[in-house]
C-alpha cells in the first residue's frame, strides 16, 4: 500500500544549502537531491544552487545516505 511506503517520508521546501547544513549529523535519514542542470534558468528554489563545489561539499558531509539525480553532460 502506498500510504505505508510513504509513512516516514518528509518533504521539505527550503533552500537546499540550509537543509543540507541542518541534516549533516543525522545518520538515520536519506537525502534525495534533484539539482538543476548547470547553466539552466529556472524559478525553482533549487536554482539557488549556483555554487556546485559548495553543493558537493555539503553532500559529502552528510552522515546519512545521499542520492543525487544525474544527467549526461556531453
Residue 21 lies in a domain: yes
Q: Which residue, among 33, 40, 37, 42, has the nearest Cα to 69 in the 3D structure?
A: 33
Residue 74 lies in a domain: no
Mean pLDDT, to the nearest integer, of 13-17?
83
pLDDT for the residue 42: 59
In this prediction, residue 1 has a pLDDT band, given cuts at 50, 70 and 90, of: confident
* Total number of domains in the chain: 1
Helices 52-60 and 16-23 cross at an angle (nearest 10°) of 20
Q: Give the count of beta carbons closer than 10 Å to the beta carbon of residue 32.
A: 11
Residue 6 lies in a domain: no
Residue 22 lies in a domain: yes
pLDDT for the residue 52: 78
Tens digits of residue pLDDT in 18-49:
899 999 999 999 999 887 766 666 555 444 55
Whole domain around residue 30: which residue ranges? Answer: 11-68
CA pair distance 45, 65, nearest whole angstrom? 22
Amino acid at each position: 500500500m502506498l500510504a505505508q511506503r510513504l509513512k516516514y517520508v518528509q518533504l521539505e521546501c527550503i533552500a537546499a544549502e540550509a537543509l543540507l547544513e541542518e541534516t549533516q549529523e543525522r545518520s538515520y535519514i536519506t537525502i534525495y537531491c534533484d539539482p538543476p542542470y548547470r547553466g539552466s534558468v529556472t524559478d525553482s528554489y533549487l536554482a539557488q544552487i549556483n555554487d556546485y563545489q559548495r553543493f558537493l561539499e555539503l553532500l559529502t558531509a552528510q552522515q546519512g545516505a545521499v542520492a543525487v539525480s544525474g544527467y549526461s553532460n556531453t
